[in-house]
Amino acid sequence: MNHFLPLPWLLMAGAACCHSAGSILLKQSRLVAAGSGFWTTLLSPWFLIALAVHSTGLLLSARALDHLPVSAAAPFSTGLGFILVTLLSHYLLDERLVMNQFVALGLIFAGVVVITR
């Protein structure tokens, strides 16, 4: 199993982007439908789009795992997801970033680099 092929890593990066975007969309669905019932939430456009985007990420991950060891691919995707969600939530949802988060993101990035080598 050659885990240095670029396409599987691109698929994992795409999966991380999908999972991050899906999380942001899920948060948006909750902001729009605050206080609504289960069925209203389940059938809201934001929730359905979040579900589709998360599902796409799952399919990309599955395809990438045909060629990558899960011990490197999962931390890569999860770490990249943490970084993307933090940045996207700041820019798209106006969530505040503090110095601790920047330090943690740097440590996550360093950990991803080390674990995928």
Query: Left if phi > 0, otherwise alpha if psi is -120 to 50, otherwise beta: which for 68?
Result: beta
**pTM of the full structure:** 0.85
> What is the reported pLDDT for 64?
95
Summarised one tens digit per residue, pLDDT across range 55-69 is 999 999 999 999 999
Summarised one tens digit per residue, pLDDT across range 12-55 is 999 999 999 999 999 999 888 877 788 888 888 999 999 999 99
| 110 pLDDT higher than 80 | yes
Q: What is the DSSP string of the chain?
A: --TT-HHHHHHHHHHHHHHHHHHHHHHHHHHHTTT--HHHHHTSHHHHHHHHHHHHHHHHHHHHTTTS-HHHHHHHHHHHHHHHHHHHHHHHH-----HHHHHHHHHHHHHHHHHT-
Cα gap 54→32, rounded to integer Å: 19
Cα gap 62→54, rounded to integer Å: 12
Q: Return the domain boundaries, the chain.
A: 6-115
> What is the reported pLDDT for 1?
47
